[in-house]
Amino acid sequence: MEIRNIVRSFGGQRVVDDVSLRVMPGQVTCLLGPSGCGKSTTLRMIAGVEMQDSGEIYVDGKLICDTVFRIPPERRHIGLMFQDFALFPHLSVGENVAFGLKGAKDEKRARVEELLDKVGLKRFIDSFPYLLSGGEQQRVALARALAPRPKIMLMDEPFSGLDNRLRDDIRDQTLELLKEEDAAVLLVTHEPEEAMRMADEIALMRKGKIVQQGAPYNIYNAPIDKSAVAFFSDINVIRGTVKGALTDTPFGQFLAPGVPDGAQVDIVIRPQHLKIDFDRAGKGPLPTPQDGVAARGEVVRARFMGSESLVEIRMDFDGSILKATVPNVFLPKPGKPLWLMFRRDRCFVFPAGKGAH
Ligand SMILES: Nc1ncnc2c1ncn2[C@@H]1O[C@H](COP(=O)(O)OP(=O)(O)OP(=O)(O)O)[C@@H](O)[C@H]1O
């Protein structure tokens, strides 16, 4: 499935602004972005329930929609799964799954049984939906969407109605089934964890545009700007001024290649990549090439978060507060002096102010 240069405006504002995207069979692409950035509108245009102002949509290399030509939604062979896409309450589970199927009765029954078996719900084939839990209903909805073997599956926040622990299981099971069925999947979500868990490829969307696209690993480890880092985790930011492609900070020098002298840069680091060390009679650890220079601060607050502890430290050099996370339990008392170092291989240096939240 491919969309090219799709644009859609509401009230003079471009909510989808020149979006192009390709999704291959057997691949899950997540359209990830904050609420209101235009993800659902993009999906609705592909589904055919919303018309684009300009741009084209292709399936299997064939045009299915531009501003003149338009295949109606029911003939696009696209599977849909939305959070509030309820099952038909007056039909049994089996009849729900069979709903979009054509062909002989036996064949339909076999396909329904196959899919319900795959989602582990064959025993409910003759039950009514209200007897099933939310997670089970969601799995039936998935089976129903996949039953007619759509080439493309569009999913809009399909798991957001489920509670956390259930959600992880259902995500994994859904992913397995989608792969087996070899559909090209476009999944919309505003949750980075969901995208990281589900996606082969993430398209990061902001204000109607795709700002970065790539494998989850690349998006996480080579983010395009400060906001892209901040979308996935808490961040710490140190500002510095560049001289000779370097910027001096209390944590030592950082490379700022290509940034002109006098310009400001933001050095961005995630809390899990700050290194904490103890104070030894007013002294910290020695500088290293990997971690730079240590800077001293005092603990403001430390909290246990489950698998890690979050320590907030007020830095001596400017009174700013940096956040560091440490695996397991580490709960130093407020006022305790500690030293922080920046792991050089985990820092990102961006021109200051680029990529507003
Ligand atoms: N039919 C419409 N008429 C007017 N404005 C609309 C319409 N549909 C969407 N919008 C506006 O377009 C913007 C993008 O909406 P969209 O639902 O695509 O965003 P989203 O990224 O999916 O967000 P969310 O996750 O909150 O659904 C929003 O500001 C929304 O109010």
Taking alpha carbons only, the member of 189, 293, 269 closest to residue 221 is 269
Report if residue 27 sits inside a domain.
yes
312 and 210 inside one domain:
no
CATH of the domain at 334: 2.40.50.140
In a domain, 238, yes or no: yes
Closest ligand 1 atom to Cα of 40: 22
Domain boundary among 211, 230, 249: 230
Number of domains in the chain: 2
CATH number at residue 76: 3.40.50.300
Tens of pLDDT along the chain (357 residues) come to 999 999 999 999 999 999 999 999 999 999 999 999 999 999 999 999 899 999 999 998 999 999 888 898 888 889 888 876 678 999 999 999 999 898 889 999 999 999 999 888 999 999 999 999 888 888 899 899 999 989 899 999 888 877 777 788 888 888 888 888 889 999 999 999 999 999 999 999 999 999 999 999 999 999 999 999 999 999 999 999 999 999 999 999 999 988 999 999 999 999 999 999 999 999 999 999 999 999 999 999 999 999 999 999 999 999 999 999 999 999 999 999 999 999 999 999 999 975 443
Q: State whether 98 and 246 are in the same domain.
A: no
Nearest CA to ligand 1 atom 24: 35
Tell me if 213 CB under 6 Å of ligand 1.
Answer: no
Task: Examine the fold and report which residue of 230, 260, 295 is the final residue of a domain before the chain moves on.
Answer: 230
What is the reported pLDDT for 85?
67
Query: Of all atoms in ligand 1, which is nearest to the CA of residue 205?
Result: 21
In a domain, 49, yes or no: yes
- Looking at residue 170, its pLDDT comes to 83
Which residue out of 8, 30, 41, 205 has the highest number of ligand 1 atoms within 8 Å of its CB and is therefore the one to mutate? 41
Residues 166 and 272 in one domain: no
Which protein residue has the closest C-alpha to ligand 1 atom 12? 15
Instruction: Residue 292: give the domain boundaries.
Output: 234-351
pTM for the complete prediction?
0.88
